[in-house]
Amino acid sequence: MTVRTALLRILEHEDVNFLLTNRIPRRLLTRFLGWFSKIEQPLVRDLSIRLWRLFSDLDLSEARDGEFKSMHACFTRALKAGARPVDADPDVVVSPCDAIVGTHGRIAGTELLQIKGFPYRLEDLLGSSERAERHRNGHYVTLRLTASMYHRFHAPHDCRVERVIYISGDTWNVNPIALARIERLFCRNERAVIEARLAGGDALTLVPVAAILVACIRLHCLPAPLNLAYRAANVLPCAADYRKGDEMGWFEHGSTIVMLAPGAWSFADNVQPGAIIRQGQPLLRRAPAGVSGERTTAA
């Protein structure tokens, strides 16, 4: 048994994983990593990336750049042109990111699932009842980015971002172990609510949820990064137009995006709990007239 295999087996134990990733000074460690990851010193960079590889299946073969100035540059790497083909069908909403599909389905009024048996409310996730009404009885999908995945996210369809709401919070881990133990976890963590509208007028919302070691959520439509040190206005008006597949921003580590979509769409066949989906692949399809796409699945 290799050292890497032994370490991974230890971390797979639920109690150990939860203890090591949650029962620690989460916010302090997250801010520290935000500083440490940007150190542009070759020895620090190489040792950090080597350690990262030890605990994950980091694959840099699709990276646009062959070398990185820092671990941060590696985290937020761009991909080679054409690495993520985007489905051009106008009746398809694509995945905004590389991810593991989690819970998804129809929103019951304003209630959705974090994991089986753990409901939460849109009002708590989005910070207001008015925002929740935009997606009453709509659809939702939870997309979890792991530490080794591509960390940038893109427009799932042609749209205009109308405003962003920053909600400060905690930095709990968002892996399945924590989701099964911490109620309303997404509603507790730091997050950004990105309110967009599709060309046909349908409301679509992306909620990037930060987590432990996620030092920042960076959006191209805003001048300042959103992180634990952010102290400016929480409601940020915006008027940024995106074509399907355009880059919108990035996490500075792995985390989760909860996407809220209209009820007039249905999930693509490839959207199943635990499935890996790539940015640009079909996520939702416009439902034919009279069909509402009722499939609801909890991971």
What angle, rounded to 10 degrees, do the helices at 3-12 and 42-54 form?
60
Q: Which residue has the tokens 């070691």?
A: 213
Q: Specify the amino acid at residue 105.
A: G
- Contact between 243 and 66 under an 8 Å Cβ cutoff? The reply is no
Q: How many other CB atoms are there within 10 angstroms of residue 243's CB atom?
A: 11
**Active-site residue, from 37, 48, 98, 202:** 98
154 carries an active-site annotation: yes
Would you call 210 helix, strand, or coil by DSSP?
A: coil
- Asked if 175 and 104 touch (Cβ cutoff 8 Å), the reply is no
Structure tokens at 201: 């007028």
Catalytic site residue from 154, 170, 202, 266: 154
Is 148 known to be catalytic? no
Residues 6+ apart with CB under 8 A from 187: 120, 121, 124, 125
Collect all residues with Cβ–Cβ distance below 8 Å to 44 and sequence separation of at least 6. 36, 70, 71
Tell me the CA distances in angstroms from 226 to 25, 142, 238, one per residue in order: 20, 21, 15
Three-state SS for 51?
helix
The C-alpha atoms of residue 278 and residue 42 are separated, in whole angstroms, by: 31
255 is catalytic: yes
| Residue pair 129/123 in contact by the 8 Å Cβ criterion | yes
By annotation, the residues acting in catalysis are 98, 154, 255
